[in-house]
Amino acid sequence: MRIIITAFLLTIFTITATKACDICGCGVGSYYLGILPEYNKRFIGLRYQYKTLRTHLGPFGERTPITADETYQSAELWGGWNIGNRFRVLAFVPYNFNERQSQTGNGTKSGLGDIALMGYYKLFDHKGTLGERLLVQSLWIGGGVKLATGKYEPSERLAIQESPNNFQLGTASTDFTLNAAYDIRWNDLGLNANVNYKINTENKYDYRYGNKFTSNVLVYHKFRIAQKVTIAPNIGVLYETAQKDVEGKKYDVAVSGGYSLSAVGGLEVSMKGLSFGANYQNVRSQDLADGRASAGNRVMVHMSLPF
């Protein structure tokens, strides 16, 4: 019964957590984690993310002469290290490629993004049986820090007041995260849940991005081929929500904040010495920047090497 209650509460919390972001999933940060690759001690790898955002929409979401189509791509070096049996550290070093197209002019930016570090503590790890099948579950909790390593251009905010302040490589602020990761598996059928709450601080330009909440729940099934390759298709939901940005210490930025809910489908493959995977995030519902922005569907691919 304890196992069932734990899974139920975590799932409900993940889906219904209160609003808390910069425009969800694009620009200066996305904290989607998903199913981690299988590794015992350490891993290092690359992740690629592709996202689109349409900004400067009319009051009813229609295109206007100054509507912009923005593309955000990120090539990210990432890695993990298990320290003993209870501690885990994850690191993310993104290199961002931003592109904007509009009738009033096009623009591009590329460069180092904001580096993030996350630490986890294993609260419990239980192995047992339910019926005649193996039941395994674990819960990790922790926190992290996002460094101000990406370039922030205050002129971007001043130039386009009615557009989200999202076309940046970084936020110019040191921010903090609270994290939890839960996994429960009954033989080869499992459920994976991740939550991340990002607490943003004000940068030196008197601008603070709204706190951001990111969560995902994925159901997966592992298929083992010749005891050498494991294939795990997965399906689930990704929910992101945001508070308004704050400018000048007390003024809410109208074109900021909101939420998006996406359906996620993916595939993870693990073999000796190599793991890789991909997922597609289809936006099903959203309300971003009071309807003045619209996020498109997203793609993420990754590979990693355990060592």
Q: Mean pLDDT in the chain?
A: 88
Whole-number pLDDT of residue 161: 58
Whole-number pLDDT of residue 233: 98
Residue 28 — pLDDT band, cuts 50, 70, 90? low
pLDDT tens by residue, 152-201? 999 887 665 567 888 999 999 999 999 999 999 999 999 999 999 999 99
Over residues 254-258, the mean pLDDT reads 90
| DSSP characters over 175-201 | EEEEEEEEEEEETTEEEEEEEEEEE--
pLDDT tens by residue, 13-22? 433 333 334 6
Give the residue from 306, 48, 90 showing the smallest Cα distance to 194. 90
Over residues 245-249, the mean pLDDT reads 91
Is 26's pLDDT higher than 80? no
SS3 at position 289: helix
End-to-end CA distance of the chain: 37
| Euclidean distance between CA atoms 173 and 150, whole angstroms | 9
The backbone torsions φ and ψ at residue 83, rounded to the nearest 5 degrees and listed phi first, read -105, 105
Is 304's pLDDT higher than 80? yes
**CB contact set of 131 (below 8 Å; sequence gap of 6+):** none
Whole-number pLDDT of residue 136: 95
Over residues 133-142, the mean pLDDT reads 95
Hunting for tokens 């674990």 — which residue is that? 138
Over residues 58-78, the mean pLDDT reads 91
Whole-number pLDDT of residue 105: 85
What tokens appear for 39 in the block? 């590794």
Domains of the chain: 2-306 (2.40.128.130)
pLDDT tens by residue, 211-241? 999 999 999 999 999 889 999 999 999 999 9
Is 247's pLDDT higher than 70? yes
CB burial of residue 192 (10 Å; 0-12, 13-18, 19+): buried
Residue 38 — pLDDT band, cuts 50, 70, 90? confident
Is 6's pLDDT higher than 60? no
pLDDT tens by residue, 114-133? 999 999 999 999 998 888 88
Is 4's pLDDT higher than 60? no
Percentage of the chain surpassing pLDDT 90? Answer: 71
Whole-number pLDDT of residue 15: 38
Whole-number pLDDT of residue 160: 58
Whole-number pLDDT of residue 250: 85
pLDDT greater at residue 62 or residue 1:
62
Whole-number pLDDT of residue 30: 62
Give the residue from 16, 19, 23, 18 showing the smallest Cα distance to 295. 23
